[in-house]
Structure 1
Amino acid sequence: VLPIACGPPGSLEAEWLQLQFAARRVKKEYWCLCQGASLGCCGATGEVRHPLLTREVEESVFRTEVSTLGRPAHTAYEVLRRHESPDVTGEEIILLK
C-alpha cells in the first residue's frame, strides 16, 4: 500500500500524513532483493540496528548511509527466498521482507 495525501504540499492532508511518519505511527514494510553472504534458510529472521543519516548529494538526489550522526533505525527482516548466486561463489541472491 502506498499512502498518498489528497492535497497540495503544506495542506492539512499532507501535513497530517507527514506527521504520521515523523511520529513513527506508520508501520512500513519493504521487500529487498540482494546479493551477499547467506542470512539463513527461508523463514530465518534477524534485525539490523544502526543509525542512518540521509544527505543530499546533489539537487534532489539523496543518499542514506550508516552514520553515528544519523537517526536511530531498526529493521527486522525475514528471508523469503534464497538461491545460489550464478556469478559469485559462496554468495546468494536473497529475497527479504
Structure 2
Amino acid sequence: MVMIKHLPAEGAVQREIHGESAEWSLSDHLLAAVVDHLAAANWMFQCVNSSEDDETPDPPKPVPRPGLTDEDGQEDQGEESAEEGAGPAVSPTALARFFG
C-alpha cells in the first residue's frame, strides 16, 4: 500500500485511473483559469471601447481542459458552453455603464 500511495502523480497508474486530467497539475489548471479570465477581461474592454457602429466581437473561447466533453460527446473547448447557463447577451453600453 505504501508503494502505491507514493507513485508519481503523472505516472501511468494515475493516468489509467483519472484519464487525461492526471496530466494536468494544479498549476496547469490555475494557469488555464488565469488565461481565460484575462481573455474575458480583454474582450470586455474591447466591447466597451469599440464604436457603436462596430459589431460586438465574439467572446473568447476558454482554454480546453482535459477530460471535459460537450453534449455531443466530443471534447469540449472549455468548462461550460457559452449558451449553457449564460444569461442574456450583454451589450457594450451595459458593460460601460457597469464599469463606469
TM-score range, shorter chain: under 0.3
Point out which structure has higher relative CO (alpha carbons under 8 A, 6+ apart). Answer: 1
More strand by share: 1
- Structure with bigger helix share is 2
TM normalised by structure 2 equals: 0.25
Question: Which one has a bigger Cα radius of gyration?
Answer: 2
TM-score (norm 1): 0.26
